[in-house]
Structure 1
Amino acid sequence: MTYDVTLLILLAAALHAGWNALIKVNGDRVAVMAVVTLAGSILSLFALPFIDSPDPASWPLLALSILIHTGYHFFLPVAYDHGDLGQVYPVARGSAPILVTLGALIFAGEQVSQMALIGILCLAVGVMALTFDGGKVSKINPKAILFALLTGVCIASYTVVDGLGVRQAGSVLGFAVWLTIGNGLLTFLIALIWKRNEMLVVAKNNALTGIAGGAMQVGAYWIIVYALAFAPMGMVSGLREISVLFAALISTFLLKEGFGVWRFVSACLVTFGLIMSQNRN
Structure 2
Amino acid sequence: MSVWAIVLVIISAFLHASWNILGKANKASVQSFFFMTALCMALLLTPYLIWFYFTAGSQYFSPEFWILLILSGLLQIIYLMGLGFAYKKADVGLVYPMARALPVLMVGCITLSLGQSISSLQWIGFSLITGGCLLVPLTRLRELSVSNYFNIGIVWAMVAAIGTAGYSIIDKLALSELFSQLQTIHHRAEIAIFYLGMQFWAIALPLALGFLVTGQSHQFKQAWQIKTPAFIAGSIMALTYGLVLYAMLLTDNVSLVVALRQISIVFGLLLAVVVLKEKVYTTRLVGCVLILSGLVVAL
Q: Deviations over 1:43-77 (max 9, x none)?
A: 23243245356631422211211111122221211
Structure 1 residues 240 and 255: CA distance shift in structure 2, 3 A: same
Unaligned runs of 5+ in 2: 183-190
What SS does the aligned partner of 1:131 have?
coil
Of residues 164, 170, 193 in structure 1, which corresponds to 2:173?
Answer: 164
Match of 1:203 in 2: 224
Distance 2:215 2:246 in 1: 33
How many Å separate the matches in 2 of 1:136 and 1:180? 42
Aligned pairs, number: 276
* Residue number in structure 2 paired with 1:276: 297
Change (3 A) 1:116 1:226: same
- Residue 12 of structure 1: aligned partner: 12
Output one character per residue of 1:75-112: Cα deviation in whole Å (capped at 9) or x when no partner. 21111111111111111111111100111111x31111
Alignment partner of 1:119 is 2:118 = no
User: Aligned to 1:61, which of 64, 68, 72?
Assistant: 68
Give the deviation of 1:195 after TM superposition: 5.4
How far does residue 190 in structure 1 lie from its aligned partner after superposition? 2.8
Assess, with a 3 A threshold, how the Cα gap between structure 1 residues 187 and 202 changes in structure 2: closer, same or farther. Answer: closer
Give, in whole Å, the separation in 2 of the partners of 1:209 and 1:127: 29
The aligned residue for residue 143 of structure 1 is 152
Matched, 1:97 2:104: yes
CA distance in 2, matches of 1:141, 1:27: 25
Deviates more, 1:35-44 or 1:228-237: 35-44
Tell me, yes or no, if the aligned pair for 2:247 and 2:257 is still in contact at 8 Å.
yes
More off after superposition, 146-155 vs 195-204: 195-204
Q: Which residue of 2 aligns with 1:236?
A: 257
CA positional deviation for 1:213: 0.4
Aligned to 1:76, which of 80, 83, 106?
Answer: 83
TM-score (structure 1 length as normaliser):
0.89
Residue matched to 1:34: 35
- Residues 1:147 and 1:28: Cα distance change in structure 2 (over 3 Å): same
Q: In structure 2, what residue type is equivalent to 1:8?
A: L
Equivalent residues of 1:203, 1:210 under 8 A apart: no
AA at the equivalent of 1:24: K
Cα 1:34–1:93 change in 2 (3 A) is: same
Deviates more, 1:269-278 or 1:40-49: 40-49
Does the Cα contact within 8 Å between 2:256 and 2:298 map onto a contact in 1? yes
CA contact (8 A) 2:211 2:219 kept: no
Q: TM-score, normalised by structure 2?
A: 0.84
Q: Which moved more, 1:185-194 or 1:144-153?
A: 185-194
239-248 or 178-187: which moved more? 178-187
Q: Is the 8 A contact 2:35 2:223 kept in 1?
A: no
Counterpart-to-counterpart distance in 1, 2:24 and 2:242: 22
